[in-house]
Structure 1
Amino acid sequence: MMAKTSYGVTVAYRRSLKRGTGLLGYLLQEWLFFLTLAMLLIKSIVLMGFVNSSNQSLIDMSRGLKNITYMPICVAFLLIIAAFSLLARNRGRLWVLLILNFLCSFLFAFDAVYIRASGNFLSTQLLRQTGNLNNLWDSIFAMFRPCDIVFGFDIPIIAVLLIVTRNLVEYSSPLFTNLKARLIAFFTIILISVGYITASHIAIDVYGSSKNDYIFYTHWNPAQTIRNTSPMGYHVYDCYVFFSDFKPYNISDKDRADIQSWIDKKNEKLPPDSYKGIYKGKNLLILQVESLENFVIGKSVDGQEITPSLNKLLSNGIYFDNYYAQINEGTSSDADLMTNTSVFPVRKGSTFFRFPYTRYNSMPAIMEKHGYSTKAIHPDNGEYWNWMEALKNIGFQQCIDSKSFSMDEVIFLGLSDGSFLRQVKDTVIKQKAPFYNFMVTLSSHSPFEMPQRHQKLKLEGALAESRLGGYFQSINYTDGCIGTFIDELDKSGVLDNTVLAVYGDHDSVHKYFNDEIQNIKPSQDWWLDNDKRIPLIIYSKGQQAQTIHTTGGQIDLMPTLLYMLGIDESEYENTVFGRNLMNTREDYVLLSNGEFRGNMAESRKAEILQGLEYADMAIRSDYFKNK
C-alpha cells in the first residue's frame, strides 16, 4: 500500500505533480495558458454582446456569440496574443500571461466605454487626439457601468493563485525551461494562426462576393467591421489602416466619376420656390450648441421651461423637428465639418485630425466670394479636435479660440457659455456687414454636472439626482446664456439684418445614459426617446413661425442656408452631399452608421449608402481641391 499525506494524496502522486510528468502534470503546468485563452474569449463575447445592443450596460452572452461572425478568426487572434508568453522562461511565463490578460482586458473595458459613446471601438487614430483628454476624464469615467467589472475580475484572483501555488508545482516542462522548445512552440502557434487568418482572408475577402461578410474591410457600419474581425482582430486591422494613412491615397478616374455621379444624381433640379433668396444680403450667425437634443424644445419639467430662450425663437423661426445628428468618430468636430462643407466625415477617426488640409467648396469660401467676412469662434483651445487648423483650411478668414478671451470662468471643457457669449458679443456687434460667424458653446457637455450656482431649475426626487436632471440643468443654463446674448444683439440693432441658425452638435444624454433614463421613476413619455434628433431653428426677426417636418441632417444645412441667402445652386450643388431642405421632395436622412430615418425606398438604400464611402474617398484624396 502506498504511503499517503495527511490530505489523502499519495506521495508518489504529489511528486508526479511537482515534476510535471504525465498528461495531468503537463496540463497543471499549462493551466494559465488555457485559462487565459478561455477568459479572453469570454471577455470578447461579453464585449461583442454590447455591439448593436439596445442596452449596452447589460451582459448578453447569446448576443455576443451571434455578433462574432467568424469565431475561429477570433480564437486565432487570441492565440497569437497568448503565444508571446512562450518567449519568457520558467515562472516568468505565467506572469507574462497575467500581464497580457490585463492589457487585453484593459483595452476591452475601454472599448466597452467607447462603443457606448461613439458606436465604435477605440481606434489607433485616437493617438493623434490625446490632447482632447485634458478635460474629458469626468465624461469618460461617467461612461463606465457596473457590468464592466467582468473585464478585470479574474486578474486579482489569478495573481493570488500564482502566489499561493508558487511552491506546489515545479515547472519542468521544456516549454518553461528550454529555449529551443519555446521558440518552436511560439512560431508553430504563430504560423498556424496567421496562416489560418490569411487563408480565410483570401477565401472570403479576395474571392468572396459580399462586402457584408468581408473580414478585413472598413464597413459603413462600424459594428459590422467589428463583428467580422472580432475584438482583437479589429484592433490589428485598425493599426493597418492607421499606418496606411502615411501613404498617399490615390483614387482612379472611375472612382472620381462615381463620386461625381452620386452627387449629381442626388440633385433634384426642382424649380425655385418662395424660400429662395428670402435672406439675401443678411448676415449669418450660426450657433452650434453642445449636446442639444430635440426632445427638450418646448418642454417643461415640474412646471418650468427647460429652454425658454430657444422656445422664444420659435415665434419668429423656422423649426426643423426631424433634423438628425450625422456625426461619426469626430463628434463635435464632425458637426463643424458637415455644417460648413456638406460632406460626410471619414469612416475612421476624426477628419480634422487625419485630413486637416483637405480643401472643400465650403460655405465660408462661397460666402467670401459674395463679399462676406467670415469668422469661426470657439471658447476652447484651437488644438482641441484640431478645429482651428482644419477650419482655416476649410476657408474661414479668421479663427478665434480661447486665447483671445479672459478665462474668468471655466466649466468642464473650457470657458463658460455665459462668459464666452458675453465677451464675444462686441466682436459680433462691431463686425462690418455682411458677415458669417460660426460659433459653438461648451458648458452643456457631459457628464452634466453643472455648478450649483448655475442650477436654476427646481427638480425633485430621483430626477434631481439623475444624469437626466443634470442634463436639464446644463441645457437650461446654456439656454439662458443664449437668451441674454440674443437680447444684446437685438438692442444693438445687429439682429435686424441677421439670420441666426441654432442647432445641436450631437445627441448626448440619450446616447450616453439611456439606460439610466429608462430607470427613472416616475418617468414621462417625452423624455424616454430622442433617436439622434437635434433641433434646428433658423431665426430671422419678424419672420413668420413655421415648423418643417421634412427629415434631414447636418449635411443639409449648408445647401439650405445658401439657397435662402440667394446664392445660386450652380456654385455648390456639384460638391455637396446634402440637399436643400426648403426645396425637396425627399424625406430621409442617412446616419453615420448606415441607418436611415424618414422615408426611403428599400430599392434605393444601397445606392444612397454609397455616399458614406464616396465622402470618405473624396476627403482622403482631396477630391474637391480643383472644384
Structure 2
Amino acid sequence: MKKITKNLLNFMSTRLGFVLTLLVLYWIKTMWAYTIDFNLDIQGFYQVFLAIINPFPISLLLLGLALYVKRTKLFYSLAFGIYLLLFAWLVSNSIYYREFSDFVTVNTMLASSSVSAGLGEAALELFRPWDILYLIDFPILAFLFFKKYIRMDDRPFNKRASFAVTSLSAMLFSANLFLAEIDRPELLSRGFSNYYVVRALGLPAFLGYSANQTYTANRERSKASEKDLEPVTEYIQSHYAEPNPEYYGIAKGRNVIYVHLESFQQFLIDYKLQADGKEYEVTPFLNSLYHSNSTLAFSNVFNQVKAGKTSDAETMIETGLFGLNQGSFMVNYGGTNTQQAAPFILSKNGGYTSAVFHGNTGSFWNRNTAYKQWGYNYFFDASYFTKQDDTNSFQYGLNDKIMLKDSIKYLEHLQQPFYAKYITVSNHYPYTTSLIGDEIGFPLAKTKDETINGYFATANYLDSSVKALFDYLKESGLYDNSIIVLYGDHFGISQTRNPNLAPLVGKTSETWSNYDNAMMQRVPYMVVVPGMDKGKIIDTYAGQVDMLPTLEHLLGIDSKNYLQVGQDMLSTQHQQITAFRSSNNFVTPKYTSFNGRTYYTQTGEEITNPDETIKKELDEIRNAANTQLKMSDAIQTGDLIRFYKGNDLGKVNPKDYSYLNSMKALLAIEKEKGDQSTSLYSKRGNVSTVDLFNSPSYRALHPEQFQTSSSDEDSSQENSSSSSSSSTANP
C-alpha cells in the first residue's frame, strides 16, 4: 500500500500527473453536482455513460493548455487558475440551479443585475452544508505541497506530448458529441433544453453553446432599429382582418383554458381503427366536442412549426408570430426579447391571472424564462406534481391523467378570470412507452412501423384524459364561465413514416404524394363555448399563427394594434393563405405548394405545366406567404416590439415573475383579498374540489373488453385441460 501511495504521489509530482489530478478532482465534483444538485433526468445506461464521460473532453483541453508553458511557477499558476475557473463555473451553476432550476447562461451573466435581483440577500441561504465537499480538495492539496509529498516539476513538458493531449481532448469531444447526437438528434441545432446539453456534453461545453446562442441572437438584435418597424406596421395594418360581429365578444370575461393536444393530427377526429374484425373509435370524446353545437371546430387548420416543434406552436398561439426557420424561438430569444403575448394582453384587458401546467421539467424549451417574457404569473412544472417514476411517467414527463389531477389543487386557487394552459405529453413519440398497467388495452394498429402502431392507443389515452378534465370542469362549476380551446401542436407521424400509414387512411403507399404529406399537417382547433348554440364545423383554411387574433376577438379584444401577423379565422376578411414555416410552401383552398410540388387542393392533382394565369396566381400567393414569414422574422429576430408604441400595453418586466413557491403566493393573494377573492376555492366557501377530478383507466372504462379476454383465456385453459385428460385416458 505504501508503495502504491508513493508511486501515486510521484506521478502527481510530474506536470502531466498534476494536470490529470486536477482533471479527476473536477470530474468527482461534477459527478457530485449531477447527483445531488442537478435534476438531469438521466434515464438508461446510455445517458449515464454520457454523463460520466462528458466532464473530461473540455476540461482536459483547458487544463492541458498549461502543459505548453515552460516556466515552472507559471505552469502551476496557470493550471491551478484554470482549475479554479472550472470549479467556480461548476459551483455557481449548482447554487444558481437551486434558485432557478436552470443553468447559468451567457445572457444571465450579461444581465447580472437581474440575476442579483433574483438571488438578492437570500443568496447565502442557497448554500448547503454539503457544499463543503466542493472545497475539501483545496486544503488537502495545500497540505501535500506544504509537506512536499507533492513537489513542483521543473522539467518542461514535451511540446509534441502537449499537442497530443490537446488532440486527445479534441477527439474525446468529437466522440462525446457524436454519442450525444445519437441519444438526442439535432441536440445543438434545435436547442431542446439547457439540461439536455449539460447532460450530454457537460457544463464547460454548455458555456460555449450558450455563448454561441447569445452571439447569434445579439448580432441580429443589434442590427435592428426603430426604422425597421415601419414596413412591419404597414404590413400589420394592411393585413388586419376585422372581427366578425356575430362572434366578437361572445366569451368576454370568461376563463380561458387551453388544452395542448400533443402530436395530435386532424385525421384522428372521427377515425375508427379496424382491429380483429372490430371498429374502435380512437377519440370518442374529442369527436363529440368536434360535432357539438357549443364548439367552433375548424377542419382545415395546419401546423406551421419547424425545428422548434412544440415550442413553435406555443410561440404562435401566444404571440401571433412564427417561430424561427432554424432552431427554437423560445430557446434562442424567449428569455430576452420583449413580447406582447396572450397572458400579458389578457392581464391588461380584463385582469386575467395566467398559469401553465406541464408535467415535464421547467427548463425544457426554455419555458421557465420564456414564460416570464410572455407575462405568465405562474408555471407549474414537474417540480409541483407527483414524483416521477417508471409507473407514472416516461421520458417526456408525467402522464396526463396524473398531471391533470395534480393540477387541480393549484387551479382552484387561481383568481378568476384566469388564462390557463395545459400541456399534455402522453401522446408523444415514440407512442410505445407512456402507457402501462390498466391503461393498456386499446388495440395497436398492424403496420410495419411500431411508432404508427402505438399512435392510436396513446391518442385514445389523451382523449380520455381530456374527458376527465371536462368532467371536472362541469362538476366544479368552472365550465359554464369558461371557454376551452383545444389545439394540436404538430404532426405525430412524420413524412418518412406516412407511406406506412397510408393504408390506414384509405391511401396506398405507392401513390402517396407530397400533397398527402401537406394534408397530414392539419391539426385540430376547437373553441368550446358552453351555452353557445351556434357552433359548427368551419372549413376556413388557416394556421396556428391565426389562433391568437381569433381568441382575442372572441374575448372582445381588438387585435388591430398588436404586432401579430395572423388573422381572425372567423373574420370574413380572413385571406385563407396559410404559410408553412419553410419558404415557398403554402396551402390555400385552391392551391397547395409543398416540398417543391404544386397541387390543386380540392383534388390533389399535381400541377406540372401551369398556364400564365395559374403562374400569376401562384406567384401572388407565394409572395403573400413569404412576406408574412419575412415580417414575423423581422419582429422576432430584431426584437422590434421593444420599439413599438402603437398600443398602451407597456412592456413586460420579467423580474416581476417568480415560479418558486407558487402555492404559497396563491394562498397569500386569497388571504389578502378575503371576501373579494374570486378563486374557485373561495367561491365554494374554502372547500376544495380536488376530489371531484376522476380519471378512470382504460380497463375501468372498457370492462367488457377484458371480461371477453378473460373468458377466452378460461375457455382456452378448460379446453387444454380437457384435451390433456383425454390424452391421458386414451394413450
Q: Per the shorter chain, which TM-score range?
A: 0.5 to 0.7
**Structure 2 vs 1, CA of residues 373 and 470 (structure 1 numbering), >3 Å: closer, same or farther?**
same
Map 1:108-187 to 2 at 5 A. 124=189, 126=191, 129-132=193-196
Match of 2:303 in 1: 325
Contact kept, 8 Å, 2:228 with 2:640, in 1: the verdict is: no
Task: Provide the C-alpha distance between the structure 2 equivalents of 1:427 and 1:517, rounded to a whole number of angstroms.
Answer: 40
Shift of 1:312: 1.8
**Deviation (angstroms), 1:623:** 1.1
Task: Evaluate the alpha carbon distance shift between residue 103 and residue 352 of structure 1 in structure 2; reply closer, same or farther with a 3 A threshold.
Answer: same
Q: Report the Cα offset of residue 112 of structure 1.
A: 14
Q: Distance in 1 between matches of 2:330 and 2:504?
A: 42
Kindly tell me: are residues 112 and 596 of structure 1, through their superposed partners in 2, closer, same or farther at Cα, counting changes over 3 Å? farther
Q: 1:341 aligns with which of 308, 311, 319?
A: 319
Provide the aligned C-alpha RMSD in A: 3.9
| Equivalent residues of 1:412, 1:443 under 8 A apart | no
Deviations 1:230-266 (A, max 9, x none): xxxxxxxxx9997443545232454221222222221
Q: Which of 402, 407, 410 does residue 424 from structure 1 map onto? A: 407
Question: Which of residues 534, 542, 564 is equivalent to 2:554?
Answer: 564
2:553 is the counterpart of 1:577: no
The one of 617, 638, 650 aligned to 1:621 = 638
CA distance in 1, matches of 2:561, 2:408: 32
d(CA) in 2 for partners of 1:383, 1:293: 26
**Whole-angstrom CA distance in 2 between matches of 1:263 and 1:493:** 39
How many equivalent residue pairs? 427
Question: Deviation of residue 491 (structure 1)?
Answer: 1.0
3-state SS of the aligned residue for 1:321?
Answer: strand
Q: 2:384 aligns with which of 400, 404, 422?
A: 404
Hey, what does 2:87 align to over in structure 1?
Answer: none
Which string of whole-angstrom CA distances, capped at 9 and with x for unpartnered residues, describes residues 31-73 of structure 1?
xxxxxxxxxxxxxxxxxxxxxxxxxxxxxxxxxxxxxxxxxxx
**Distance (whole Å) between structure 2 residues aligned to residue 262 and residue 504 of structure 1:** 28
2:344 aligned residue: 365
Query: Are residues 375 and 109 of structure 1, via their aligned partners in 2, closer, same or farther at CA, if it must alter by over 3 Å?
Result: closer
Equivalent residue in structure 2 for 1:304, among 277, 280, 284: 280
Are the equivalent residues in 2 in contact too, given 1:342–1:559 (CA < 8 A)? yes
2:541 pairs with one of 548, 551, 563:
551
SS at match of 2:222: coil
In the alignment, what sits opposite 2:251? 279
Cα deviation, 1:546-596, whole Å, max 9, x if unaligned, reads: 011111111111100110111133453xx1110000113411211111211
CA distance in 2, matches of 1:338, 1:430: 28
Distance 1:341 1:444 in 2: 25
Q: 1:494 aligns with which of 466, 475, 478?
A: 478
Structure 1 386/109 Cα, relative in aligned 2: closer, same or farther at 3 Å? closer
C-alpha distance after superposition, 1:81-125 (max 9, x if no partner): xxxxxxx99xx99xx9xx99x969x979969996xxxxxx77556
CA contact (8 A) 2:187 2:197 kept: no
2:622 to 595, 598, 605: 605
SS in 2 for 1:556: helix
Which amino acid in 1 is paired with 2:361? N
* Residue of structure 2 aligned with 1:483, choices 467, 470, 483: 467
Summarize the alignment of residues 467-546 of structure 1 with structure 2, pairs less than 5 Å apart. Answer: 467-511=451-495, 513-518=497-502, 524-525=506-507, 529=516, 530-543=519-532, 544-546=534-536
TM-score w.r.t. length of structure 1: 0.61
* Aligned counterpart, 1:255: 228
Shift of 1:299: 1.1
Q: Which one of 432, 435, 443 corresponds to residue 458 of structure 1?
A: 443
Q: Is the 8 A contact 2:223 2:638 kept in 1?
A: yes
The AA in structure 2 aligned to 1:552 is A
Matches within 5 A, 1:23-102: none
- Secondary structure at 1:586 match in 2: coil
1:539 to 1:108, Cα distance in 2 relative to 1, 3 A: same
Gaps of 5+ in 1: 1-87, 115-120, 137-238
- The whole-number CA distance in structure 2 between the counterparts of 1:496 and 1:398 is 24
**Counterpart-to-counterpart distance in 2, 1:135 and 1:517:** 35
Checking the alignment, whether the CA contact within 8 Å between 2:302 and 2:523 is kept in structure 1 is: yes
TM-score between both structures, scaled by the size of structure 2: 0.53
Deviates more, 1:471-480 or 1:307-316: 307-316
1:411 maps to amino acid: F
Cα distance in structure 2, aligned partners of 1:360 and 1:535: 26
Q: Report if aligned partners of 2:385, 2:403 keep a CA contact under 8 Å in 1.
A: yes
Compared CA separation, residues 499 and 383, structure 1 to 2 (3 A): same
Comparing 391-400 with 602-611, greater Cα deviation is found at 602-611
Shift of 1:440: 0.5
C-alpha displacement at 1:508, in angstroms?
A: 1.9
- Stretches of structure 2 that go unaligned for 5 or more consecutive residues are 1-158, 201-210, 592-616, 646-731
Q: 1:489 to 1:109 in 2, by over 3 A?
A: closer
Aligned residues of 1:425 and 1:489 also touching (Cα < 8 A): no
**C-alpha offsets along residues 277-303 of structure 1, whole Å, 9 cap, x if unaligned?**
111121110011110111101111121
2:363 is aligned with 1:383: yes
2:469 alignment partner, SS class: helix
Report the counterpart of residue 290 of structure 1 in structure 2.
262
Question: Is 1:393 the counterpart of 2:373 in the alignment?
Answer: yes
Q: Closer, same or farther in 2 for the Cα pair 1:478/1:132, shift >3 Å?
A: farther
* Contact preservation (8 Å) 2:190, 2:308: no
